[in-house]
Amino acid sequence: MSSFRKRALDEFASHRAERFYVEERPVSEYFGQKVFDVEKMRRYLSAEAFEAVQQAIGEGLKIDRSIANQIASGMKSWAVENGATHYTHWFHPLTDATAEKHEAFVDPSKNGGVFENFKGDALVQQEPDASSFPNGGLRNTFEARGYTAWDPTSPAFIMDQTLCIPTVFVSYTGEALDHKAPHLKSLQALDKAATDLCRLFDHKTNRVNVMLGIEQEYFLVDEALYRARPDLMLCNRTLIGHTSAKDQQLEDHYFGAIPSRVMAFMKDFETEAYKLGVVLKTRHNEVAPNQFEFAPYFAEANLSVDHNLMMMILMRKIAKKHKLKVIFHEKPFAGVNGSGKHCNWSMVTNNGVNLLSPGKTPRTNLQFLSFFVSVTRAVYEHHPLLMAGVATLNNSYRLGGNEAPPAVMSVFAGKLLTSVLDSIEKMSEDDASSQDQTHHKLDIVNKIPEILPDNTDRNRTSPFAFTGNRFEFRAVGSSANVSAALYPLNAAVAQQLKRFKELVENLMKEGVDKEEAFLKVIRQFIIESRNIMFEGNGYSPEWHKEAERRGLRGIKDLPSAFKTYLEENSIKLFEETNVLTEREVEARYEVMNETFIKKLQIEARVLGDLTLNHIIPTAIKFQNTLIDNVRGIKELFEEDEYKTMSERQLITIRKISGYIEILRKETKELIEARKVANQIEECEEKAVLYSNTVLPIMTSIRTVADKLEMLVDDELWPLPKYRELLFWR
């Protein structure tokens, strides 16, 4: 067997299920051990410092310098007692990864020794030498400074003996350079709009939080096999590889018994996750072989995103100990399910009322419906933008494929709720304006049963489904920072909530009774959102036609999806909600194009390498053995016998020659296409060219390489095959 693949398979065979560390104590005893949470703040901070942090968290008040020093000192004491030697500002630049630059706590002391030191300034703000993060032109090189600023709403934690301080990342001029800043601003906008609307029902509401529960799907691959695949190593996905005879068709993996090596990994991972204060709730096998999922209990959105990113880092580290590789890519293997990050999204008041949970009284149901229709209206208004928010190169390989949400947006409400919405819509305008009918109409509102959460049917084909007390945004990709997908949603909902309230107030000013006014606006929003509501099978071709008929815009190609950000409607949304300025949006647009181009460029290079240096030489080697064989037959046998004996082999030899020729030709074309595209300066134009010329050649090369894999002697094939990568247990 090809030594490359053989070595990998041999090494893999020696890997066993191992547990490195067994935590015997109940989880409740060590939960949050590595987090500087409220309880630790109380212990390590003065009353004054504690109060200041709480106010910064609750009301966004600024922390003054002297107090910052006190907080830093308390945080340092806790961190050092818990083994930390370094600290870092932890931030989320516009890449797929988080960033950190570690500083040691120690400073030299006068007597030649060292002492642990951590000042307020270092806690609150830092200036990382950050000129090489994507910035879309927001930072000129002559003013390459970027600042990280402490986000006190997400608690500091210790990972790898380093105190990690969650921060936002902004330019010298204050423009956002990360995923966190616009997400936080969108949460603020939504809080304001939702609280204002709530106060028409309940004066005691003074805050609305977005709650987020993120289901993370991922693949696990044996490390030795992973290393033997240049495409997995460099692109996190296989660029070639014939499907395995058996993959997910027997549906025997989903919820199946978790393999022992995976279980060992999961247990180690969970122990560390609990210490980091993440309430992991579920773990199970997913649909594709060696695909898995975990979901923590939902939390406030900003914290939930940080937790998700922490978990991704942690999983990579723990997997290493188990000689595994975690693959977060949305579509690492063609032909089997891809991975998503389902975002369960709801709005909850400071009094604990879930605004997306139907209530028991007409009044609370009126409130529920107001919020529900504001979300559907928002999704309709900005559906192209919401799709653009999940449009990445990785995710584009997944969306619309095997059991993945379609690349066009729709909202699923469920049978019961749909019938309620229908009956409200059917009320005539007259009905809606005559006072004595109000009672009857509220009856309809009353018909939403209290137990709705258990009653909702599940439609797993919808990219945005209501599941009884929350929406599940399923189109988000598994490797994404979900903030990027969520800030457009939060902003869009904030915009509609504000509009909803204004419309109600206008009606009330005209003398319309309050409940009547609510019902009228709910009805208006239902009518306006009609086109986005879809209860059927989102995977079916009929839906694609229907969506087009309704004028819904999906992702056709990535460069045009990115362009949605620059549309007037999008910019207006971001500026109105104070989430991003036009300049910031433009910068992000640049970064999206740049990232797309660079990723595709890397994939195209790796594919070229695989074809020229792995596949073609292997095919030639195999072809030569066939040729030798035919020659031998010719020497040994009579003409007649030779003819029958060599006929099929000659066909195969010709076939292989043909494929090799196509591969050579297409690889050359691929290189040419890249060259032409690379000469273009302008980011947008370059992205379009990459999308239109490079991408299709890659698809075509793959088809041919996969055909060769089926022809060539298994012994010779250099790359671990799908059956090995997916069934390594």
Residues within the interface to ligand ADP (CB under 6 A): 211-213, 215, 282, 295-298, 344, 346, 354, 469-470
User: Which residue lies nearer to Mg ion by CB, 213 or 488?
Assistant: 213
Tally of residues, the chain: 729
Q: Of ligand ADP, Mg ion, none, which one does residue 346 interact with (CB within 5 to 8 Å by kind)?
A: ligand ADP
Rounded distance between C-alpha atoms, residue 263 and residue 19, angstroms: 9
Q: Of ligand ADP, Mg ion, none, which one does residue 297 interact with (CB within 5 to 8 Å by kind)?
A: ligand ADP
Closest distance to ligand ADP from the beta carbon of 297 (Å)? 5
Closest distance to ligand ADP from the beta carbon of 494 (Å)? 18
Rounded distance between C-alpha atoms, residue 478 and residue 220, angstroms: 13
User: Which residue lies nearer to ligand ADP by CB, 154 or 236?
Assistant: 154
| Total of chain residues touching Mg ion, rule CB under 5 A | 1
User: Which residue lies nearer to ligand ADP by CB, 167 or 216?
Assistant: 216
Closest distance to ligand ADP from the beta carbon of 339 (Å)? 13
Residue 352 corresponds to which tokens in the numbers above? 């604990």
User: Which residue lies nearer to Mg ion by CB, 15 or 284?
Assistant: 284
Residue 84 corresponds to which tokens in the numbers above? 């930390």
Q: Of Mg ion, ligand ADP, none, which one does residue 344 interact with (CB within 5 to 8 Å by kind)?
A: ligand ADP
Q: Is 464 helix (H, G, I), strand (E, B) or coil?
A: strand
Closest distance to ligand ADP from the beta carbon of 272 (Å)? 19
User: Which residue lies nearer to ligand ADP by CB, 333 or 466?
Assistant: 466
The stretch near Mg ion (CB under 5 A) out of 213-221, 479-487, 496-504, 525-533 is 213-221
Of the candidates 17, 20, 15, the one whose C-alpha atom is nearest the C-alpha of residue 272 is 20
Rounded distance between C-alpha atoms, residue 584 and residue 182, angstroms: 10
Element (H, E) at 349: strand 341-349
Residue corresponding to tokens 């030709």: 665
User: Which residue lies nearer to ligand ADP by CB, 5 or 470?
Assistant: 470
Q: Of Mg ion, ligand ADP, none, which one does residue 694 interact with (CB within 5 to 8 Å by kind)?
A: none
583 neighbors 189 (Cβ within 8 angstroms) = no
Which position's Cβ is nearest Mg ion?
Answer: 215
Element (H, E) at 465: strand 464-466
End-to-end CA distance of the chain: 21
Characterise 160 by phi-psi region: left (phi > 0), alpha (psi -120 to 50), beta (else): left
Closest distance to Mg ion from the beta carbon of 254 (Å)? 11
Rounded distance between C-alpha atoms, residue 114 and residue 512, angstroms: 73
Q: Of ligand ADP, Mg ion, none, which one does residue 222 interact with (CB within 5 to 8 Å by kind)?
A: none
| CA–centroid distance for 341 within its chain | 5
Which position's Cβ is nearest ligand ADP?
Answer: 213
Of the candidates 249, 242, 222, 226, the one whose C-alpha atom is nearest the C-alpha of residue 334 is 242
Closest distance to ligand ADP from the beta carbon of 296 (Å)? 6
Closest distance to Mg ion from the beta carbon of 470 (Å)? 13
Q: Of ligand ADP, Mg ion, none, which one does residue 298 interact with (CB within 5 to 8 Å by kind)?
A: ligand ADP
Residue 19 corresponds to which tokens in the numbers above? 């547990």
280 neighbors 292 (Cβ within 8 angstroms) = no
Closest distance to ligand ADP from the beta carbon of 298 (Å)? 3
User: Which residue lies nearer to ligand ADP by CB, 278 or 600?
Assistant: 278
Rounded distance between C-alpha atoms, residue 34 and residue 567, angstroms: 44
Closest distance to ligand ADP from the beta carbon of 299 (Å)? 8
The stretch near Mg ion (CB under 5 A) out of 208-216, 510-518, 600-608, 700-708 is 208-216
Q: Is residue 191 part of the contact set for Mg ion (CB under 5 A)?
A: no
User: Which residue lies nearer to Mg ion by CB, 98 or 469?
Assistant: 469
Rounded distance between C-alpha atoms, residue 423 and residue 405, angstroms: 29
Characterise 578 by phi-psi region: left (phi > 0), alpha (psi -120 to 50), beta (else): left
Closest distance to Mg ion from the beta carbon of 218 (Å)? 13
Provide the 10 A C-beta neighbour count for residue 609: 16
Complete DSSP assignment for 373-404: HHHHHHHHHTHHHHHHHH--HHHHTTTTSTT-
Closest distance to ligand ADP from the beta carbon of 358 (Å)? 12
Q: Is residue 215 part of the contact set for Mg ion (CB under 5 A)?
A: yes
User: Which residue lies nearer to ligand ADP by CB, 286 or 724?
Assistant: 286
Q: Of Mg ion, ligand ADP, none, which one does residue 213 interact with (CB within 5 to 8 Å by kind)?
A: ligand ADP
Rounded distance between C-alpha atoms, residue 359 and residue 426, angstroms: 22
User: Which residue lies nearer to ligand ADP by CB, 213 or 406?
Assistant: 213
Rounded distance between C-alpha atoms, residue 286 and residue 293, angstroms: 6
Q: Would you state the torsion angle of the CA atoms of residues 54, 59, 60, 63, taken in this order, to the nearest 10 degrees?
A: -50
Residue 192 corresponds to which tokens in the numbers above? 């304001």
Q: Is 302 helix (H, G, I), strand (E, B) or coil?
A: helix
Closest distance to ligand ADP from the beta carbon of 453 (Å)? 9
User: Which residue lies nearer to ligand ADP by CB, 30 or 297?
Assistant: 297
Closest distance to ligand ADP from the beta carbon of 472 (Å)? 6
User: Which residue lies nearer to Mg ion by CB, 100 or 215?
Assistant: 215
Q: Of ligand ADP, Mg ion, none, which one does residue 533 interact with (CB within 5 to 8 Å by kind)?
A: none
User: Which residue lies nearer to ligand ADP by CB, 398 or 474?
Assistant: 474
DSSP secondary-structure letter at 339? Answer: -
The stretch near Mg ion (CB under 5 A) out of 207-215, 353-361, 562-570, 574-582 is 207-215
Determine phi and psi for 215, rounding to 5 degrees: -90, 120
Q: Of ligand ADP, Mg ion, none, which one does residue 469 interact with (CB within 5 to 8 Å by kind)?
A: ligand ADP
Q: Of Mg ion, ligand ADP, none, which one does residue 608 interact with (CB within 5 to 8 Å by kind)?
A: none
Contact partners, residue 227, CB within 8 Å, separation at least 6: 8, 233
Binding site for Mg ion (CB under 5 A): 215
